[in-house]
Amino acid sequence: MQLAFVLDPLDSIKSYKDSSYAMMEEAARRGHALFVLHQEGLLSRDGQVRANVWPIALTGDRYAWYRLGEAAERALSEFDAVLMRKDPPFDMEYVYSTYLLELAERQGARVINRPAALRDYNEKFSITRFTQFTVPTLVTRLDSELRAFLAEQGDIVLKPLDGMGGASVFRLHRTDPNIGVVIETLTHYGRRTIMAQRYIPEIVHGDKRILLIDGTPAPHALARIPKPGETRGNLAAGGRGVAQPLSARDREIAETVGAVLREDGLLLIGLDVIGDYLTEINVTSPTGMREIHEQTGFSVAGMMIDAVERAAA
- pLDDT in the model for residue 166: 76
Positions annotated as catalytic residues are: 124, 159, 209, 224, 232, 272, 280, 282
Residue 16: CATH number of its domain: 3.40.50.20
Residues sharing a CB contact under 8 Å with residue 261, sequence separation 6 or more, in sequence order: 117, 121, 212, 215, 269, 281, 283
Within a domain: residue 125?
no
* pTM, full prediction: 0.94
Q: How many domains does the chain have?
A: 3
pLDDT of residue 36: 98
C-alpha–C-alpha distance, residues 234 and 301, integer Å: 21
Q: How does DSSP assign 176-235, residue by residue?
A: -TTHHHHHHHHHTTTTS-EEEEE--GGGGG-EEEEEEETTEE-SEEEEEEPPTT-S---G
What is the CATH number for 165?
3.30.1490.20
Nearest-angstrom CA–CA distance, 63 and 82: 25
- Residues 172, 183: one domain? yes
User: Could you give the dihedral angle defined by the CA atoms of residues 204, 243, 274 and 121, in that order, rounded to the nearest 10 degrees?
Assistant: 140
Tell me which of 59, 85, 116 is where a domain ends.
116
Task: Supply the pLDDT for residue 165.
Answer: 74
CATH number at residue 301: 3.30.470.20
Residues 186 and 247 in one domain: no
Question: How far is Cα 146 from Cα 137, in angstroms, rounded to an integer?
Answer: 10
253 near 269, Cβ under 8 Å?
A: no
Last residue of a domain, one of 116, 146, 174: 116
Measured distance CA(105)–CA(108) in Å, rounded: 5
**pLDDT, tens only, 174-218:** 999 999 999 999 999 999 999 999 999 999 999 999 999 999 999
Residues 47 and 151 in one domain: no
Same domain, 222 and 150: no
In a domain, 130, yes or no: no
* pLDDT for 229: 73
**Coil, strand or helix at 2:** strand
Please check whether residues 252 and 195 belong to one and the same domain.
no
Reading phi first (left if > 0) and then psi (alpha if -120 to 50, else beta), residue 154 is in: left
Cβ–Cβ under 8 Å, residues 84 and 70:
no
Question: Does 59 fall in a domain?
Answer: yes
Same-domain status, 79 and 13: yes
Are 216 and 181 members of one domain? no
Q: Give domain status of residue 184, yes or no.
A: yes
- Whether residue 209 sits in one domain with residue 195: no
Cis peptide before 113 (omega within 30 of 0): yes
Q: In the chain, which residues have pLDDT < 50?
A: none
| Cα–Cα distance, 148 to 144 (Å, whole number) | 6
Does a structural domain hold residue 43? yes
Residue 122 lies in a domain: no
Q: What is the pLDDT of residue 262?
A: 96
User: Which pLDDT belongs to residue 163?
Assistant: 79
Question: Contact 81/3 with Cβ under 8 angstroms?
Answer: yes
Q: Residue 10 is part of which domain span?
A: 2-116
Would 58 be classed as within a structural domain? yes
10 lies in the same domain as 109: yes
**220 lies in a domain?**
yes
